[in-house]
Amino acid sequence: MIWDTLRSWLMGIISAGVVLSVLYALLPKGRWRPAAQAAGGVALLLVILRPVVDLDMGTFALSYDDYERQIEALKKKVEETLQESQRIQEKQTQQENVGAAQGREA
């Protein structure tokens, strides 16, 4: 999804650049040339900034909230896994200590 959007955006920039280059090459020298170049520059700038203009902050905020919930759930899962790992390690240590104590008694 992101790659398709990025590819579309880059193709728009490249296409606008090619069209402007051809128009600039065909444009005769004179007083219209600077005005046409300024207009072309503004058009190219709008093409470049199009993703920012189209950005839906409401969707972005919802996505951020979803990511935050996912991160919190993953943090909780990691904490539970660490606690379980510590319990297992403590149990193994106790078993080793019991085994060592039994070995000394024998």
| pLDDT tens, residue by residue, 21-38 | 999 999 888 888 899 999
pTM of the model: 0.49
User: CA-based Rg of the chain, rounded to a whole angstrom?
Assistant: 32
pLDDT of residue 79: 95
Entry field: residues in the chain: 106
Determine the 3-state secondary structure of 27 from DSSP.
coil
User: Among candidates 94, 72, 13, which has minimal Cα distance to 46?
Assistant: 13
* Span 63-85, pLDDT tens digits: 777 888 889 999 999 999 999 99
* The pair of three-digit structure tokens given for residue 88, joined into one six-digit string: 């297992």
- What angle do the packed helices 32-54 and 2-26 form, to 10 degrees? 170
Q: pLDDT-based confidence at 6, cuts 50/70/90?
A: confident
* The pair of three-digit structure tokens given for residue 54, joined into one six-digit string: 């189209």
pLDDT of residue 106: 59
DSSP code at position 55: -
pLDDT of residue 63: 73
Residue 35 identity: A
Residue whose token pair is 């943090």: 75
Rounded to an integer, the average pLDDT of 82-97 is 90
User: Does 87 have pLDDT greater than 80?
Assistant: yes
